[in-house]
């Protein structure tokens, strides 16, 4: 399975989880793993608690290798930027607005010296 297929599958899972949350849900988490020129991740947004968000993000990430929780967020917009296939650089940000989260994620990722692209971006149901 190619890197793009793995990332694509994770995006579908993360978006489905995001869209299935209730309006009162506002917790999210990012789990990351990296090695051998690759980054894999699991994102959960719109959960009812930080514990639930962490568990869901880890479950999605562990499908692809060892992971750790990189961040948790509550009532925020979140963005993840990756350098792309063959590189393990990344950046993420949780901010009040999606555009701000995307800009900061790109800035953080590109500080590793290579071009990046937004891989995932969403606001939790209670966010802006």
Distance from the Cα of residue 44 to its chain's centroid = 7
Question: CA-CA distance, 35 to 44, in Å (whole number)?
Answer: 22
**pLDDT tens for residues 77-121?**
999 999 977 788 999 999 999 999 999 999 999 997 899 999 999
Q: pLDDT tens for residues 58-80?
A: 999 998 899 999 999 999 999 99
């Amino acid at each position: 399975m190619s890197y793009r297929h793995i990332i694509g599958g994770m995006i579908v899972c993360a978006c489905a989880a995001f869209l299935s949350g209730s309006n009162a849900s506002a917790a999210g988490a990012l789990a990351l793993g990296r090695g051998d020129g690759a980054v894999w991740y699991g994102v959960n947004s719109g959960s009812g608690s930080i514990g639930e968000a962490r568990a869901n993000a880890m479950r999605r990430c562990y499908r692809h290798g060892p992971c750790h929780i990189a961040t948790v967020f509550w009532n925020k917009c979140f963005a993840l930027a990756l350098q792309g296939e063959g590189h393990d650089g990344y950046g993420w940000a949780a901010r009040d607005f999606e555009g701000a989260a995307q800009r900061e994620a790109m800035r953080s990722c590109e500080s590793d010296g290579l071009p990046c692209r937004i891989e995932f971006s969403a606001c939790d149901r209670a966010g802006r």
